[in-house]
Amino acid sequence: MTITRVTQSMMTERSLTGLQGSLGKLADIQEHLSTGRILNRPSDSPTGTAAAMRLRGAIAQQQQFARNAEDGLGWLNTADATLQSTNDQLRTARDRALQGANAATSPAAREALATEVEQIRAGVLAAANTSYLGRPIFGGTTAGSTAYASASPGAGLPEVVTYTGDGGSVSRTVAEGVSIEVQVDGEAAFGPDGDSVFDHLDALAAALRSGDTAAIRAGVDAVTADMDRVGSALANVGARAVRVEQATVRAADAETGLASSLSEIENTDLPQAMVELQMQEVAYQAALAATARVLQPSLVDFLR
């Protein structure tokens, strides 16, 4: 059996090493408590740091999806309100046409009705040029500020409205691999040039002014068809808005889940850290007491 000689110097060094280690553990726990994080530098946990970086990237992606969805909802809600307003105006125009088709309506009354229909046409044109954040919502990807332009072909002639958009797709990515169109094709909502709602309202106003009953009834049918077209566009917008809203909720849920996972990796479990701190304090106090007893002999004690 080999007996290793233990010197006073060895005992002192070992005591100091143990005390320093205990102090280091106390310092680590104190840092976790003061910062609220267990990952304060990559060396604390290389694998945890890598996982935290991946989670932060995923959170940033979900936040971008949510921002895209919010922007898309802005487009679609603007289009929804505009199309509903247009539908209401067309319903009013049709009611005025039905009133003008009555044989008992006087020429002066029909003139007033024609003027009102012309004002409705101007209102619908303004709605068709509605923009969101400076972009015409019915103009596709056009660089212009409006989707429709009006110009008079000659003196005394009604202005002709033409589509100046390009029908291009404006979409927003609201999830991984999911893009949703947020614009509305102007020609799909208001009809193509030459057979648009503006042409129909022009013809209806002229028919009311001239008292042409057959033309008025044809105008009623045309405006009714325009209402159906606007209604279809409205339904399409509503369906897309629902998809975008669902994507917004999914992005928020995903962000919450990822943030929870990140918190488990990075943040300090305060109750656990407090217990560890108390245990480490007890261990350190015990080490100090033991060291004081072991290192108690002085040079005088050896000389006795």
Q: Which residue has the higher pLDDT, 4 or 124?
A: 124
Q: Is residue 154 part of a domain?
A: yes
**32 and 82 fall within a common domain:** no
Tokens for 74, please give them: 């802005």
**Listed residue (277, 255, 240) closest to 55, CA to CA:** 255
Burial of 123 (0-12, 13-18, 19+ CB in 10 A): middle
**pTM for this model (two decimals):** 0.81
Distance CA 202, CA 30 (A): 80
**85 and 205 fall within a common domain:** yes
Residue 69 is part of a domain; what is its CATH number?
A: 1.20.1330.10
**118 and 251 fall within a common domain:** yes
Which residue segment(s) compose the domain that 96 sits in?
53-260
pLDDT of the residue at 278: 93
**79 and 151 fall within a common domain:** yes
Look over the chain and give the mean of its residue pLDDT values, rounded to a whole number: 91
Q: Is residue 4 part of a domain?
A: no
Contacts 24+ apart (CB under 8 A), 105-110: 107/211, 110/208, 110/209, 110/211
pLDDT of the residue at 92: 96
Share of the chain above pLDDT 70, in %: 96
Separation in Å, CA 128 to CA 81, 158, 182, 199, 231: 12, 18, 15, 14, 15
**241 and 193 fall within a common domain:** yes
**231 and 273 fall within a common domain:** no
Q: For residue 83, which phi and psi values (nearest 5 degrees)?
A: -70, -35
**155 and 221 fall within a common domain:** yes
pLDDT of the residue at 304: 57
**194 and 118 fall within a common domain:** yes
**87 and 138 fall within a common domain:** yes
**114 and 87 fall within a common domain:** yes
Q: Is residue 44 part of a domain?
A: no
Q: By three-state DSSP, how is residue 21 classified?
A: helix
**150 and 188 fall within a common domain:** yes
pLDDT of the residue at 75: 96
Q: Is residue 5 part of a domain?
A: no
pLDDT of the residue at 249: 95
| 264-298: pLDDT as tens digits | 999 999 999 999 999 999 998 998 888 887 776 66
Q: Which residue has the higher pLDDT, 122 or 291?
A: 122
pLDDT of the residue at 48: 93
Q: Is residue 10 part of a domain?
A: no
| 55-86: pLDDT as tens digits | 999 999 999 999 999 999 999 999 999 999 99
Q: How confident is the model at residue 138 (pLDDT cuts 50, 70, 90)?
A: very high
Q: What is the mean pLDDT of residues 98-126?
A: 92
Q: Which residue has the higher pLDDT, 120 or 5?
A: 120
Tokens for 43, please give them: 């060396």
Distance CA 115, CA 96 (A): 10
Q: At what angle do helices 197-210 and 107-128 cross, to 10 degrees?
A: 170
Distance CA 117, CA 111 (A): 10
Q: Is residue 9 part of a domain?
A: no
> CB-side exposure of 211: number of CA atoms within 13 Å?
7
| Total domains present in the chain | 2
| 203-245: pLDDT as tens digits | 999 999 999 999 999 999 999 999 999 999 999 999 999 999 9
| 31-52: pLDDT as tens digits | 999 999 998 888 889 999 999 9
pLDDT of the residue at 159: 83
Q: Is residue 42 part of a domain?
A: no
Q: Is residue 117 part of a domain?
A: yes
Distance CA 192, CA 212 (A): 25
Q: Which residue has the higher pLDDT, 263 or 158?
A: 263
**251 and 273 fall within a common domain:** no
User: Is a pLDDT exceeding 70 seen at residue 198?
Assistant: yes
